Structure 1
């Protein structure tokens, strides 16, 4: 078992975290989907107006990471934490790193008086689903996520301009 520490990501971790984002994309069967560059990630995590935060699990190298941001629930009137990505290098799995990352985020959610910690998982990712359920996470099967991007996003925005 590898000893590791959890810590907040620093600007010097940008390249390692981006490399793990690429590894995650490969694992999720979308190897060419990552458009983010190191400067974009740096700005998102450490810029003048950070969009997200990251924690890393580190031994002699960074073994895993979690990127998250604050969400808000109009139903509870409280913030939440939304876990955008969690990834542990395959060779480092089974050592408690993923669980430690989630425990850290749960503690952060409690510290911030958040109503919840939530995330998504691909429906075919049975190992992750089993892992999350073992921690007490519940699937929200009744919800369907929608997305507007690219030309459809531009067209929708144009409708607002024309009718707004």
Structure 2
């Protein structure tokens, strides 16, 4: 029987987290978008104003996966929420309940912190992940469509700020 533990990431985990992010990007067919550096990640997680947190899952002392999340906010609830940006379990560790443990851990954090919701996005082609989330009790927000401005469009919009 294997031993599973969850722990908050430390600055020493930056190379591991970056490696897991790149593995996830490869799985999601988005490796070309994974351009962040170790310095970027360290500043985002452990800098003066941390933007996100990471939980590392270890199975028998080996890195098995991670969850990266940050605080969102609901104006309707007037409460913060927990937004899961990335959940990833390495293929050789799948089927052992690690993803479920990570999700339950994040739900418990949200409850403990008094948050009003726990949300995330999933690629519409990722049927195994969608089925997993349904088993957890998640419901799709079909009436909402994610919007994004990035890259050149972000800079062009910012240039219109004036002032």
* Deviation for aligned residue 1:30: 1.2
Deviations, residues 45-76 of structure 1 (Å, cap 9, x unaligned): 11111110000101322110000000000000
Asked if structure 2 preserves the Cα contact closer than 8 Å seen for 1:2 and 1:95, the reply is no
Q: How many residues align?
A: 162
Structure 1's consecutive aligned runs of 4 or more residues displaced over 6 angstroms after TM superposition are none
Question: Which structure 1 residue ranges, 5 or more long, are not aligned?
Answer: none
Q: Cα distance, 1:154 vs. partner?
A: 1.4
TM (norm. structure 2) is: 0.96
> Aligned residue for 2:92?
91
Corresponding residue for residue 140 of structure 2: 139
Cα root mean square deviation, aligned: 1.0
Q: Which whole-Å deviations, capped at 9, do the CAs of 1:123-153 have from their partners, x for residues lacking one? A: 0000000000000000101101111112211
Residue of structure 1 equivalent to 2:64? 63
TM normalised by structure 1 equals 0.96
Gaps of 5+ in 2: none
User: 1:114: how far off?
Assistant: 0.6
